[in-house]
């Protein structure tokens, strides 16, 4: 009898319950499964290895234990150099320039769906799978792969995946995209996986104490740390600051300004190293400019369309009109003014549950 050929899937195993269940489901469905964990940060010397942090030594240990339970091959890839170059250095430089980056999106884009996908092909894998709460579907009418939200609206991670290209999506599987988080944990228990009740990571993986100001100061060099004035919209000096990197648009705490009413960070004057502050209502704006766009629903934006959008991950969707610009950017006009539009963050566009595309916020308008 001719041996039946099994499709090979390489699974990015983070050590959490989502990727562990994704691995178990694929093995259960008869795929030839290989588990891979990315070692992206040196956690040595830290008092807490970070049971709740992403990609810690504990996480790799948990991933290996799951692989042993499922009896599948398991490998650890040392991507520390690539992670520092592509994610950490960008994170630091963006804050210095008064922008607020999202390192998780870059990690997905430049490590998981670039380096790890290439490693999948080296391992003769047909697909790469992750534990993201999202879905990829083929659409016959458009001849394109579509990215859809995960079924569990509270855990949907499609926002972090807007950079996906068609050639990447044809190689991707998101096994838990159709499951709620409760079902994921229930399945983990049924498979006997010890990570079934493991807490989710919340902080940035390379800043386990969540003190990003300290981290940036330690990694930026004293020459790049410039103090300056805190000013209002009219340019009146209200106080001093020790570095623009310590602030983000919409921030209220830590301004050090004695006043009868609260001030909020509105933006920055980089030329004069000034932090601009104002009242809560001053944070409202009518739109933004998005750059470095990636379109999933169609090859490119050719005319105005109306979409729903998110300007941050934990953000209620808002209606907006997208207007293509000659330089490749997009002018976004909110149907209702939005608060604290933050340069450096991602803006992701939706049509119902389908991701239209997304880009990076250049400036508010």
Domain ranges for the chain: 8-190, 226-278, 284-364
Distance CA(195)–CA(291), nearest Å, equals 39
Fold observed for domain 226-278: SH3 type barrels. (2.30.30)
Residue by residue, what is the 3-state secondary structure of 39-94? ECCCCCCCCCCCCCCCCCHHHHHHHHHHHHHHCCCEEEEECHHHHHHHHHHHHHHH
Same fold? 226-278, 284-364: no
104 is catalytic: no
CATH H-level, domain 8-190: superfamily: HUPs (3.40.50.620)
Least confident residue range of 50-54, 256-260, 341-345 = 50-54
Q: Does the pLDDT at position 55 exceed 70? A: no
Q: What is the pLDDT of residues 125-158, one digit of tens each?
A: 999 999 999 999 999 999 999 999 999 999 999 9
55 is catalytic: no
Reported pTM: 0.93
Catalytic residue among 104, 205, 225, 285: 205
Residue 52, pLDDT score: 43
Q: What percent of the chain has pLDDT over 70?
A: 93
Q: How many CB atoms lie within 10 A of CB 318?
A: 16
pLDDT bin (cut points 50, 70, 90) of residue 201 is confident
Out of 2.40.30.10, 1.50.10.20, 1.10.760.10, 1.10.150.250, the CATH code matching 284-364 is: 2.40.30.10
Catalytic residue among 54, 55, 104, 107: 107
Looking at per-residue pLDDT, the higher value among 226 and 106 belongs to: 106
């Amino acid at each position: 009898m001719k041996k039946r050929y099994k499709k090979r899937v390489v699974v990015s195993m983070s050590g959490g319950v989502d990727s562990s269940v994704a691995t178990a489901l694929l093995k259960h469905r008869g795929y030839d499964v290989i588990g891979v964990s990315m070692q992206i940060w040196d956690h040595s010397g830290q008092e807490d290895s970070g049971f709740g942090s992403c990609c810690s030594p504990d996480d790799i240990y948990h991933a290996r234990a799951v692989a042993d339970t499922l009896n599948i091959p398991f490998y650890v890839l040392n991507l520390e150099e690539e992670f520092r170059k592509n994610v950490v250095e960008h994170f630091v430089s963006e804050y210095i320039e008064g922008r607020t980056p999202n390192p998780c999106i870059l990690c997905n884009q430049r490590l998981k769906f670039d380096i790890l996908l290439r490693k999948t092909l080296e391992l003769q894998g047909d697909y790469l799978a992750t534990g993201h709460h999202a879905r990829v579907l083929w659409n016959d009418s458009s001849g394109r792969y579509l990215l859809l939200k995960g079924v569990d609206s509270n855990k949907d991670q499609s926002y972090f995946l807007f950079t996906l290209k068609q050639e990447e999506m044809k190689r991707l599987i998101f096994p838990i995209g159709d499951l709620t988080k409760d079902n994921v944990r229930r399945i983990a228990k049924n498979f006997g996986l010890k990570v079934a009740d493991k807490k989710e990571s919340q902080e940035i993986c390379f800043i386990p104490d969540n003190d990003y100001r300290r981290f940036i100061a330690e990694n930026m060099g004293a020459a790049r740390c410039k103090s300056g004035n805190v000013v209002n919209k009219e340019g009146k000096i209200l106080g001093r600051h020790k570095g623009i990197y310590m602030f983000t648009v919409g921030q209220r705490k830590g301004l050090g300004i004695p006043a009868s009413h609260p001030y909020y960070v509105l933006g920055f004057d980089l030329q004069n190293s000034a932090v601009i502050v104002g009242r809560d209502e001053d944070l409202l704006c009518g739109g933004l400019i998005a750059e470095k766009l990636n379109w999933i629903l169609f090859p490119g934006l050719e005319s105005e369309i109306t979409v729903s959008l998110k300007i941050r991950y934990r953000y209620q969707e808002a209606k907006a009109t997208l207007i293509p610009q000659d330089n490749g950017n997009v002018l976004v006009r909110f149907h209702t003014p939005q608060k604290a539009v933050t340069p450096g963050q991602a803006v992701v566009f939706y049509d119902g549950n389908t991701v239209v595309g997304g880009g990076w916020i250049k400036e508010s308008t």
